[in-house]
Amino acid sequence: MILGADFQTSSVAETPIAVKQWAENTNYRLENSQTKDEFLQNLMAAHINFEQIHPFEDGNGRTGRELINLELAKNEMPFLIIPIQ
């Protein structure tokens, strides 16, 4: 669960299939993006979907941000940087 969230994350039993479906959908959407803007929109949607699955007991946010940067690096785009405030 995510404290303060107004949605239910995937159960332990649902998580493997949810992650598989997420990966397949994300790969399809990113590979078929027609523009950089569409790619970024699809990448951000994939991040939100990943966080809603919440597959790990700890580290979901860090893992999700690293997945964003992996895809950005693969496409020779600048990394996501979130400043400390």
| Whether residue 47 lies in the annotated active site | no
Q: How far is CA 74 from each of CA 5, 31, 34, 45, rounded to the nearest angstrom?
A: 31, 11, 16, 18
To the question of whether residue 62 is assigned a binding role by annotation, the answer is: yes
Q: Angle CA(26)–CA(56)–CA(52) in degrees, nearest 5?
A: 50
Q: Is 59 annotated as a binding residue?
A: yes
Question: What Å distances lie between residue 85 and 13, 46, 82, CA to CA?
Answer: 37, 25, 9
Q: Is 61 annotated as belonging to a binding site?
A: yes
User: Any binding-site annotation on 32?
Assistant: no
Instruction: Establish whether 58 is an annotated binding residue.
Output: yes
Select which of 22, 39, 50, 54 is catalytic.
54
Residue ranges of the binding site: 58-65
Catalytic residues: 54
Binding residues for ATP: 58-65
